[in-house]
A and B are shown apart, each in its own frame.
Chain A
Amino acid sequence: MTTASISVSETPLVLYVLRRADDALILGHRLSEWCGHAPMLEEDMALANMALDLLGQARELYSYAANVEGKANDEDKFAYLRDVRQYRNLLLLEQPNGDFARTIVRQFLYSAFADLYWRAMMNSADAMLAAIAAKSEKESAYHLRHSSEWMVRLGDGTEESHGRAQGAIDDLWSFTGEMFGIDASERDLIDTGIAVDPASLHPQWLKTVSGIVSEATLALPKSDWMQQGGRSGRHSEHLGHLLSELQSMQRMFPGVTW
C-alpha cells in the first residue's frame, strides 16, 4: 500500500450519497466474487448481472457525491483510495458470501429493503437522486424477485438446503436493523424531502420478508438485538480484507489505467 488515502468533506448530503454508493459497491463486489464459482452456469450469470447492476448504481452515486463535494475526488478515488474506516456501507453487505444459501439470504434481506427504498426515493426533492432511484428501482425489483424465488426453493427444498438457509437467516438477522436507522446528519435531509425516513419502510419490509420466509418454511429469529456501526465506519473484520483486494491495483500502482 503506497498511495495515501483521500480525505472527504462529509457534508450531510455527501455522506448520505456515499453511504448508498458504498452499499452498492460492497454488495456488488461480494457478488462478483462468485463469478466463475457459482453452483451452476445459469446462476453464475445471474449473480454477475446483479453485481453489474450494483456497480452501475455505485458509479452514479459516487460521481454525484464527487459533484456535490466539489473537490478533486471522483468515483475512482472514492472507491479505491478510502480506508476501511472511511467506508459507510451497511455491515450486512460486507458479510462474506459463505455458501450459496448465505449469499441468497443476504441478497434477499437487502433487496427487500432496496426495492422499497429506491421506489420511495423516486420522489426525492433532489433531482439527481430521484433519477438514480428510477433506474435502480427496476434493478432492485428484479434482485428481490430472483432472491425470493431462491429463498423459497432453498427453504422448502431439501433438509440440507433448509438448514443452510435457516442458519444464514439466524446469522445475518442482527445486521438488518442498521438499514432502518438514521443519525442526526440524515434528519435534515429527511425533513427537506431529499431523503426518505427508512423507518417508514420497515413495516412493509417486514411484511415482505416474513411472507417469503414463511412460504419458504423458514423462521425469523426471535432476537431483536441489532448490530450497528457500518454507517459510521465501524466495520466487521471482513471489510478490510475485501478492500485490500478491491483496492490493491490502485494502491500499488497509483493512477494506473489499462
Chain B
Amino acid sequence: MATPNTPLWEVFIRSRNGLAHKHVGSLHATDATLALQAARDIYTRRGEGLSIWVVPSSAITASDPSEKGMMFEPAESKIYRHPTFYEVPEEVGHM
C-alpha cells in the first residue's frame, strides 16, 4: 500500500527504435533512484525500452480541463494551418 508519504512519479520510456521518450504510466517510490528501478521493473519487462526518465508528478504543470474552451477551441477553426491546401507536383512523388 502506497502511503501518502510515497510520492508519485511519471515514467517515460524510449523504445528500441523510438526517437523520443513516451509517457507510459506512473508509479509510487520514495525517491528518484527507487523510482528509476521500479520503472525498470514494471515498464521494461518485455524489452520495451533502452532509456528511462522518471519525473516527479508534482513537477508537471498541467492545463486546467475547465479552461479547455479558451485553450483549445480557437485552434479548431483555423483549418488553414494544416498543410492540406497545397498541390504536390507529380514529380515529387511520395513524401
A and B pair up: yes
| A binding-site residues for B, Cβ under 8 Å | 39-43, 45-46, 49, 142, 145-146, 149, 153
B50 contacts A by Cβ under 8 Å: no
Are B41 and A149 touching (Cβ within 8 A)? Answer: no
User: In the docked arrangement, what's the CA distance between A145 and B38, Å?
Assistant: 12
Are B1 and A45 touching (Cβ within 8 A)? Answer: no
User: In the docked arrangement, what's the CA distance between A145 and B33, Å?
Assistant: 10
Report the minimal beta-carbon distance from A251 to chain B, rounded to whole angstroms.
32
Report the minimal beta-carbon distance from A56 to chain B, rounded to whole angstroms.
13
Pick from B30, B37, B41 the residue with the most CB of A within 10 Å.
B41
| B binding-site residues for A, Cβ under 8 Å | 1-2, 6, 27-30, 33-34, 37-38, 40-42, 45
User: Which of B1, B30, B41 is within 8 Å of A153, CB to CB?
Assistant: B30
Are B2 and A153 touching (Cβ within 8 A)? Answer: no
Are B29 and A42 touching (Cβ within 8 A)? Answer: yes
Are B33 and A42 touching (Cβ within 8 A)? Answer: no
User: In the docked arrangement, what's the CA distance between A153 and B5, Å?
Assistant: 15
Report the minimal beta-carbon distance from A216 to chain B, rounded to whole angstroms.
14
Are A42 and B41 touching (Cβ within 8 A)? Answer: yes
Pick from B1, B30, B37 the residue with the most CB of A within 10 Å.
B37
Are B30 and A42 touching (Cβ within 8 A)? Answer: no
User: In the docked arrangement, what's the CA distance between A240 and B42, Å?
Assistant: 33
Contacts of B30 in A (CB 8 A): 153
Are B42 and A45 touching (Cβ within 8 A)? Answer: yes
User: In the docked arrangement, what's the CA distance between A74 and B33, Å?
Assistant: 41
User: In the docked arrangement, what's the CA distance between A253 and B1, Å?
Assistant: 38
| Given A45-B38, A145-B37, A149-B34: 20 more A-B contacts, CB < 8 Å | A40-B1, A40-B2, A40-B6, A40-B28, A41-B2, A41-B27, A41-B28, A42-B27, A42-B34, A42-B38, A42-B41, A45-B41, A45-B42, A49-B41, A49-B45, A142-B40, A146-B37, A149-B33, A149-B37, A153-B34
